[in-house]
Amino acid sequence: MDLGAITKYSALHAKPNGLILQYGTAGFRTKAEHLDHVMFRMGLLAVLRSKQTKSTIGVMVTASHNPEEDNGVKLVDPLGEMLAPSWEEHATCLANAEEQDMQRVLIDISEKEAVNLQQDAFVVIGRDTRPSSEKLSQSVIDGVTVLGGQFHDYGLLTTPQLHYMVYCRNTGGRYGKATIEGYYQKLSKAFVELTKQASCSGDEYRSLKVDCANGIGALKLREMEHYFSQGLSVQLFNDGSKGKLNHLCGADFVKSHQKPPQGMEIKSNERCCSFDGDADRIVYYYHDADGHFHLIDGDKIATLISSFLKELLVEIGESLNIGVVQTAYANGSSTRYLEEVMKVPVYCTKTGVKHLHHKAQEFDIGVYFEANGHGTALFSTAVEMKIKQSAEQLEDKKRKAAKMLENIIDLFNQAAGDAISDMLVIEAILALKGLTVQQWDALYTDLPNRQLKVQVADRRVISTTDAERQAVTPPGLQEAINDLVKKYKLSRAFVRPSGTEDVVRVYAEADSQGSRLVVWIFIIWPLHILLKVCAKPGQS
């Protein structure tokens, strides 16, 4: 390690005095102007992680659903997963080290993790369309090169595409080709194969309106659409040609406001969806004949996917262990439907796909989705092999189902939740099952629910347990929540500090005769006031 060179270059990416950041739900996120030093240092850290794992490591420059002025960075581990928790701690230490302590922190990490500094390192980098992203990804490259790492800069990519590239590179191409064409071809081939089997392929199934949140999703979907146009025609909105990233549009806006994005005209019963800023989340929606807006979020996406997978397994005659993973935000109706009607085991983890992904890996087939539309399905290697064999050997009807499952497996991005891949999976399932968006929506009725972001003096005073469903501090908060919810049937509420924004998130649902207003007035609003009072600095 050339410590002299590191010190020299680090001074060019100096840390603002007193700035403390934490590797949160999805890496570091804050205003873009505060991130130059973090990017340089994450370049350094990616090299150490690459040397330690003897694998390619990814660095993605994005703040996903956050406002355009923000930016962020996260590291991608060898199998395309989020960074291991112990390395998240190293990331936080390194990002917060004062200039004079940088060398010591780097040496500490190398020693603790037994990094062989002679080992080669390779890092791949991607970025979203934020105005600040290009310069910040250059700072990552500076960090990589000063520590002697090799790199490939993919430039503009969706976050899940970068996860895919890392996974492909570390599996010697077994998972796919580590190029953008490789990604387009793999997914489109599987999609076209699947939709050829659909008996329902009329206009209703062939067209979809997509709100791209004015982000990278528009660019990539436009590049990709001719690969799958045989099976689906997409009409893009909020494609970045005028509006601001994530502003009044995108999956996060649609989900939290439960209304359509600006800039999209929706006719009744038309199927529409929204991506978020880096295209790792997707939600669907439509207007009914009376003009009412209906949201189909991650919970219903998980239900559609897991029920389809279960049906295929029955046809093939395989009994595999399927599990669904959700978070505290999952609507109570979805959990009840999955457990009681579909008889699928459901697990709840903390917010953050890293937690859900990890849990989903415990099953033969693990389907995980956050209510906000972030998720995918994972298939164990044994299942993949079994299905491949079945697709060759079984008799006609079973073989057809096995072939379908084989294509569905290829269509999922198993490295990370991916709006483009999920969209194609959903479109294929709807066409194969001949389901309209209304029929899909009618699987169960969501309990009325609301979410709110509350800005408080210090969100760190709130700590939680039980997969974030119970508040531990400040004292008295959980008792107050219990008092508020006990008046309503099937009601539930929780608060948790966000790991991507400087806010506290409040969620509540209740069987309140279909009224979200009741949830708002009698649960969310009193909680909002309570939080303002109790989340003052120094109270933890």
Q: How far is it, in rounded angstroms, from Cα 306 to Cα 101?
A: 50
Closest by alpha carbon to 28, among 66, 58, 71?
71
Residues 500-529 that bind ligand G16 (CB under 6 A): 500-501, 505
Q: Does 499 bind ligand G16 (CB under 6 A)?
A: yes
Q: Which two tokens stand for residue 422?
A: 């999920």
Question: Which of 52, 64 has the CB closer to ligand G16?
Answer: 64
CB of 252 to ligand G16, least distance (A): 7
H or E element at residue 407 = helix 396-411
Q: Does 328 bind ligand G16 (CB under 6 A)?
A: no
Question: Which of 71, 307 has the CB closer to ligand G16?
Answer: 71
Q: Does 70 bind ligand G16 (CB under 6 A)?
A: no
Q: Which two tokens stand for residue 139?
A: 């700072």
Of 307, 331, 351, 491, the residue at the interface with ligand G16 (CB under 6 A) is 351
Q: How far is it, in rounded angstroms, from Cα 381 to Cα 362?
A: 12
Q: How far is it, in rounded angstroms, from Cα 424 to Cα 404?
A: 14
Of 10, 64, 158, 376, the residue at the interface with ligand G16 (CB under 6 A) is 64
**Per-residue mark of binding to ligand G16, 373-392 (x: CB under 6 A):** -x------------------
Cβ neighbour number for residue 242 with a 10 Å cutoff: 8
177: DSSP letter = -
436: DSSP letter = -
Mark whether 380 is an active-site residue: no
Contact 480, 530 (CB under 8 A): yes
Q: Does 353 bind ligand G16 (CB under 6 A)?
A: yes
Contact 303, 443 (CB under 8 A): yes
Of 217, 298, 323, 352, the residue at the interface with ligand G16 (CB under 6 A) is 352
Q: How many residues are listed for the chain in this entry? A: 540
Question: Which of 299, 370 has the CB closer to ligand G16?
Answer: 370
Cβ neighbour number for residue 400 with a 10 Å cutoff: 16
**Is 269 annotated as ligand-binding?**
no
Q: How far is it, in rounded angstroms, from Cα 177 to Cα 488?
A: 53
Q: Does 406 bind ligand G16 (CB under 6 A)?
A: no
The torsion region of residue 373 among left (phi > 0), alpha (psi -120 to 50) and beta comes to left
**Is 64 annotated as ligand-binding?**
yes
**Is 498 annotated as ligand-binding?**
yes
CA distances from 167 to 60, 75, 121 (A): 14, 13, 16
Q: How many Cα atoms occupy the beta-carbon half-sphere of 484 within 13 Å?
A: 27
Of 276, 299, 418, 446, the residue at the interface with ligand G16 (CB under 6 A) is 276
CB of 468 to ligand G16, least distance (A): 9
CB of 120 to ligand G16, least distance (A): 30
Question: Which of 282, 404 has the CB closer to ligand G16?
Answer: 282
Closest by alpha carbon to 245, among 284, 218, 282?
218
**Per-residue mark of binding to ligand G16, 279-308 (x: CB under 6 A):** -xx---------------------------
CB of 29 to ligand G16, least distance (A): 8
Binding residues for Mg(2+), by number, are 64, 276, 278, 280
Binding residues, by number, are 64, 276, 278, 280, 370-372, 496-500, 505
Residues that bind ligand G16 (CB under 6 A): 25-26, 64-65, 276, 280-281, 351-353, 370, 372, 374, 498-501, 505
Where in the sequence numbering do the catalytic residues fall?
64
